[in-house]
Amino acid sequence: MMPLFLPIDIAGVEPVAIEISRERVVEGAPKARAWMMERHAGGSLTSGVWEATPGTWRVTYDKWEFCSILSGLSVVTEDGGAARTVRAGDAFIIRPGFSGLWQVVETTRKSFVIHRA
């Protein structure tokens, strides 16, 4: 029987590379990876830990995402909106339809839960 309590512990979990397409990169050469903890059939829910190195790229969200910053420093700027600096201890939600820039100033690691409607 699979346990119903799943700690977010990446020890022993192999990270997967997350491609940031060159067309979206605005500055630098950021690299990203994720340790996937939970995936539901059909991709309706995904959770894990994500990490990226410094750089800036365009992002567009077609899903709902909860993020909790574990380490590092990033600036998230919605098109037409204010720049938001996020660091360890910050938690936030990005709603579907968000479009803007994600700038990693210091290598950033976050835990996340993504829900696709």
Domain boundaries, the chain: 16-115
**What is the CB neighbour count within 10 angstroms for residue 102?**
22
21-60: string of b/e by CB count within 10 Å (b at 16+)? eeeeeeeeebbbebbebeeeeeeeebbbbbbbbbbbbeee
User: What is the DSSP-derived secondary structure letter of residue 82?
Assistant: -
**What is the CB neighbour count within 10 angstroms for residue 103?**
21
- What does the pLDDT read at residue 39? 82
- What does the pLDDT read at residue 42? 72
- Is residue 42 classed as helix, strand or coil in its secondary structure? helix
pTM: 0.92
Q: What is the mean pLDDT of residues 4-17?
A: 92
Q: What is the mean pLDDT of residues 15-31?
A: 97
Confidence of residue 38 (pLDDT cuts 50, 70, 90): confident
User: Homologous superfamily of 16-115 in CATH?
Assistant: Jelly Rolls (2.60.120.10)
The model's pLDDT over 46-103, given as tens digits with 9 standing for 90+, comes to: 999 999 999 999 999 999 999 999 999 999 999 999 999 999 999 999 999 999 999 9
